[in-house]
Amino acid sequence: MLGRIVGVVLACALGGGVGPTGDKLSKEHREAFVALAEQARDAKPEKRRSAVRALAEFGGEEAWRLVFAALEDADSSVGDAAQRR
């Protein structure tokens, strides 16, 4: 578990701004983020995995919180997806 956390912390430090230029999210990006955040809590692990991968690419503080939370998912494949960021 500690290895996963360290990997995600490094990924956070190396990338993942709010937007490509560090600007605040547009309405469309915010809507996409909300949809991904909901999917990250879905009952189906495959949906959570997909959302975690997308959130890691999305970047930003809120997205990274969800990626960190995925490290402790009951389904280890979701945690693996978070670690592979």
Q: Check residue 27 and give its pLDDT.
A: 80
pTM, to two decimals = 0.70
Write down all domains in the chain, each with its CATH number in brackets. Answer: 2-83 (1.25.10)
Residue numbers in the chain where pLDDT is lower than 50: 1-3, 5-21
Q: Check residue 57 and give its pLDDT.
A: 87
Q: Check residue 20 and give its pLDDT.
A: 40
Q: Check residue 23 and give its pLDDT.
A: 54
Nearest alpha carbon to residue 78 among 55, 58, 52: 52
Query: What percentage of the chain has pLDDT greater than the value 70?
Result: 69
Residues contacting 30, CB < 8 A, separation 6+: none
**In this structure, what token pair is assigned to residue 71?**
């490290």
Q: How far apart are CA 9 and CA 56, in angstroms?
A: 12
